[in-house]
A and B are shown apart, each in its own frame.
Chain A
């Protein structure tokens, strides 16, 4: 396979340079903190802070979710690698306003170890109250009885959006933690991949897959999914993906199955090189199937928000809404990754 052409400088500096560029994209709204973190410039005193983060290379998340009514800051790692503890600490100090900091990030071993070490430093050395909520929306990464083994994928965007709105009204770290946990519990995703992304420093693909196959349930770094199926059409793949999400709501004892009349937020994400055209074709079929199941689509998100370089693939995320989550969703928000007006489309 010929190596991918990328418009970069020093391959080992891509994470640093993309964060520098991101700060410029924020044009003064965010500041660059420490080695490789980002924080909102104006965080109100006493606000319960929301910190996100993870490896770089998935732009525009996570660091693109720092914004108004979204995350207060992000700790950015190297490409596909968790931020080290000292970067987590720097980000924590930057967003802390004396009322605690909630860490909200995807459940990956490296992220958990490094954020935990960062939290220990923040608590022991700085006396900052830190709590952690892990994102584990990928239903194909482990059964519902083993959520601690599930990884976080594109569902992180609605989850951070909902938690960001909740953080504006939360009086205590406990309140924000409860709201974020609810957003996580209510959000489930399934991803597929048709071809890999590559690591900028090596130019090598992160996995291999036959040209006539689709990896069903693959993760955002190309982690294997539940099976490889023959390449197929959008209309045939869409129900397979949705059924995996529906089944997870049915099988999980912690949440009620999706039933007629339920309202859902629906997100079609591109993993990178899959085009908006393809996402819209999948959305068209998905909407038909959601409606046939009696579900009301409260709002729709579509686009390449959680990517893995030039990986080809899509994911679907469904967030089961209730009055509290709808209130958080309706709040306007603005960031480089995701912005919306007050309310909802069609509302």
Chain B
């Protein structure tokens, strides 16, 4: 049964599911990074999500915004690196923007993703088209704003598709930032590993909502 809204306990359960999915995807993420970077993205994400799960063990009863923020803080501290900074910022900024919301529906999804995308772009300096995680996150945020009057299941379905399409579109882009920028045209043909992670995160949120 798809869920029309999520309470804090369900958000926490969803985030644990997201963490498990990322941990399981470590080989895929590392392989994606090896095409363009140094091949450690999956390891970093696995470490960050293990820390996030440990943190979520202690957050029962906290507001749903705090649940997201705890994931962000745990990722930032345990991962370091560019990934820790940007993925930490994604969850922390997104969660902070939710304030003391006590239910998570389509409008909150939009608030979360818009703040997350803004935070990541400010921290990392990437714009859409630079072949980074932003290429999955920003289209997802834009879609979420567009469908925020829809039901949560309809909204998150559309948002997950936008993230997936954004991830796929990053294959055709030429890297201009980070360690991949020196690859130039050789970076074309592979999706950005961070965009792959974003599409897995949002796709797993969708799977949780759809039940």
Q: Which of B40, B88, B123 contacts A199 (CB 8 A)?
A: B40
Q: List, in ascending order, chain B residues with CB within 8 A of A114's CB.
A: 80-81, 84-85
Minimal Cβ-Cβ distance residue in A for B180: A223
The total of chain B residues at the interface (CB under 8 A) is 29
Inter-chain pairs besides A77-B80, A82-B81, A142-B182, 13 sampled, C-beta below 8 Å: A81-B84, A82-B85, A84-B78, A84-B85, A86-B76, A86-B77, A110-B81, A110-B82, A110-B83, A117-B85, A199-B38, A206-B34, A223-B182
Q: Which of A84, A141, A221 contacts B77 (CB 8 A)?
A: A84
Q: List, in ascending order, chain B residues with CB within 8 A of A108's CB.
A: 82, 179
In the complex, what's the smallest C-beta–C-beta distance from B151 to chain A, in angstroms?
36
In the complex, what's the smallest C-beta–C-beta distance from B81 to chain A, in angstroms?
3
In the complex, what's the smallest C-beta–C-beta distance from B97 to chain A, in angstroms?
18
Q: Which of A79, A149, A151 contacts B40 (CB 8 A)?
A: A79
Contact with B along A220-235 (1 / 0, CB 8 A): 0111110000000000
Q: Secondary structure of the B side of the interface? A: helix
With A110-B81, A221-B38, A223-B182 as given contacts, are A201 and B124 in contact (CB-CB < 8 Å)?
Answer: no
In the complex, what's the smallest C-beta–C-beta distance from B107 to chain A, in angstroms?
29
Q: List, in ascending order, chain A residues with CB within 8 A of B81's CB.
A: 55, 77-78, 80-82, 110, 114
The verdict on A46 contacting chain B, using a C-beta distance below 8 Å, is: no
In the complex, what's the smallest C-beta–C-beta distance from A211 to chain B, in angstroms?
18
Q: List, in ascending order, chain A residues with CB within 8 A of B30's CB.
A: 202, 204
Minimal Cβ-Cβ distance residue in A for B123: A113
Distance, CA A110 to CA B86, complexed state (A): 9
The verdict on B178 contacting chain A, using a C-beta distance below 8 Å, is: yes
**Are A82 and B80 closer than 8 Å at their CB atoms?**
yes
Which positions 158-211 of chain B face chain A at CB distance < 8 Å?
A: 177-179, 181-183, 186
Minimal Cβ-Cβ distance residue in A for B179: A223
In the complex, what's the smallest C-beta–C-beta distance from B27 to chain A, in angstroms?
9
Distance, CA A55 to CA B40, complexed state (A): 12
In the complex, what's the smallest C-beta–C-beta distance from B90 to chain A, in angstroms?
13
Q: Which of A55, A199, A205, A222 contacts B43 (CB 8 A)?
A: A199
With A84-B79, A221-B38 as given contacts, are A202 and B43 in contact (CB-CB < 8 Å)?
Answer: yes
In the complex, what's the smallest C-beta–C-beta distance from A71 to chain B, in angstroms?
19
Q: List, in ascending order, chain A residues with CB within 8 A of B183's CB.
A: 224
A-B contact count (CB 8 A): 104
**Are B80 and A78 closer than 8 Å at their CB atoms?**
yes
Q: List, in ascending order, chain B residues with CB within 8 A of A219's CB.
A: 179, 182
Point out residues on B near A: beta carbons under 8 Å. 30, 34, 38-40, 43-44, 47, 76-86, 88, 123-124, 177-179, 181-183, 186
Q: Which of A78, A110, A199 contacts B85 (CB 8 A)?
A: A110
Distance, CA A8 to CA B83, complexed state (A): 25
Q: List, in ascending order, chain A residues with CB within 8 A of B38's CB.
A: 80, 199, 206-207, 221-223
In the complex, what's the smallest C-beta–C-beta distance from A55 to chain B, in angstroms?
7
Distance, CA A79 to CA B66, complexed state (A): 30
Q: List, in ascending order, chain A residues with CB within 8 A of B76's CB.
A: 84-86, 117
With A78-B79, A149-B181, A223-B179 as given contacts, are A84 and B84 in contact (CB-CB < 8 Å)?
Answer: yes
Distance, CA A266 to CA B164, complexed state (A): 50
Which positions 169-225 of chain A face chain B at CB distance < 8 Å?
A: 199, 201-202, 204-207, 219, 221-225
Q: List, in ascending order, chain A residues with CB within 8 A of B124's CB.
A: 109, 113
The verdict on A152 contacting chain B, using a C-beta distance below 8 Å, is: no
The verdict on A25 contacting chain B, using a C-beta distance below 8 Å, is: no
Q: List, in ascending order, chain B residues with CB within 8 A of A86's CB.
A: 76-77
Distance, CA A224 to CA B86, complexed state (A): 23
Q: List, in ascending order, chain A residues with CB within 8 A of B78's CB.
A: 84
Distance, CA A85 to CA B81, complexed state (A): 10
Distance, CA A81 to CA B124, complexed state (A): 15
**Are A224 and B82 closer than 8 Å at their CB atoms?**
no
**Are A81 and B179 closer than 8 Å at their CB atoms?**
no
**Are A225 and B77 closer than 8 Å at their CB atoms?**
no
Q: List, in ascending order, chain A residues with CB within 8 A of B39's CB.
A: 199, 202, 204-207
